[in-house]
Structure 1
Amino acid sequence: MDYICVVVFSVLSATMVYISMYFETYGFSPFPVISMFMLVGYVLFATPVQIFVNRKPKKFSRWHLVTYFIVSFAVCTTLLVLLDSYKWYILTVPMLYIISFVLAFIYWFWDSVFLQRKHKSFS
């Protein structure tokens, strides 16, 4: 149940952040579509990483955040290259790093809240 809570809260949070970044362009109309993309991304990529890093659970672990960021960055870069026909110059666009970090941070935060209750230390 805790894994489901992490995914649900992460999807809702990430969707709200994404929409708030592009609100003037789209408004709230794409909420269901963006939520589905976030859900697929978090279930396919973040949840397996979460299971892997939680073999040694630590609440608000910086190493877990770095791991989530690396995976998020790899997934976002791959999607941009494949879907938008970008070349590798996309690595110079700051928004790629910002989105990757925000998506990783959201998942890391909810993972620490729901799955790391027993561990109170920061590392």
Structure 2
Amino acid sequence: MGIGKLSEKVSELSDVIPYYFFCLFFSCISFSVAIILFSGEISWLRPLPVIIYSFYVVIPYLLFAVPLQITCNKRPRKFNVFYLLIYTVLSFIAVILFNGILFEREPTYLVKTQLYYGLSFAAAAIYWFWDSVFLQKKIS
């Protein structure tokens, strides 16, 4: 790989990095609000709890969603339902692993609850939405 091609790739990547950050930031804030709403503790809908939940949410998003997002962005499509399906499958795995590690619950207990499915789909749909808004381009 020549220096010219390498500098092109670096400049393309540096142009897109802020959009990945915006997508991650808005996804974390939105999902934190969704967690608070799912929990039924509307009194927690204040800035400090949203920020605290956002710090917990950013880890699974960074580990699971961002690498998938980078892969999906090679063939960008706005609001593609197939991408939502992929995000949802990965979200089921991420929520069960993160919940098992953080709260030390058995996966069989968690899978039986509606909260698991609601949070998993909400995490996927929220990230998919912000990904489509900030990064996915229209097909020409």
Q: 2:39 aligns with which of 11, 19, 22?
A: 22
- C-alpha change, 1:89 and 1:24, in structure 2 (3 Å) is closer
Question: Are 1:52 and 2:99 matched, yes or no?
Answer: no
Question: Are 1:36 and 2:19 matched, yes or no?
Answer: no
- Measured on the aligned residues, the alpha-carbon RMSD in Å equals 2.0
Greater helix share, structure number: 2
Question: Are 1:76 and 2:95 matched, yes or no?
Answer: yes
Give the unaligned 5+ runs of structure 1.
none
Normalising by structure 1, report the TM-score.
0.85
Tell me the matched-pair count. 120
For residues 87 and 104 of structure 1, what CA distance do their matches in structure 2 show? 19
Give the unaligned 5+ runs of structure 2.
1-17
For residues 8 and 96 of structure 1, what CA distance do their matches in structure 2 show? 23
- C-alpha change, 1:17 and 1:87, in structure 2 (3 Å) is closer
Q: Deviations over 1:72-102 (max 9, x none)?
A: 1001112233333324242221211110000
Question: Which of structures 1 and 2 has the bigger CA Rg?
Answer: 2
Normalising by structure 2, report the TM-score.
0.76
For residues 78 and 14 of structure 1, what CA distance do their matches in structure 2 show? 17
For residues 55 and 7 of structure 1, what CA distance do their matches in structure 2 show? 18
Return structure 1 stretches of 4+ with deviation > 3 angstroms.
none
Q: Which residue of 1 aligns with 2:6?
A: none
SS at match of 2:74: coil
Q: Which residue of 2 aligns with 1:8?
A: 25
% identical aligned pairs: 34
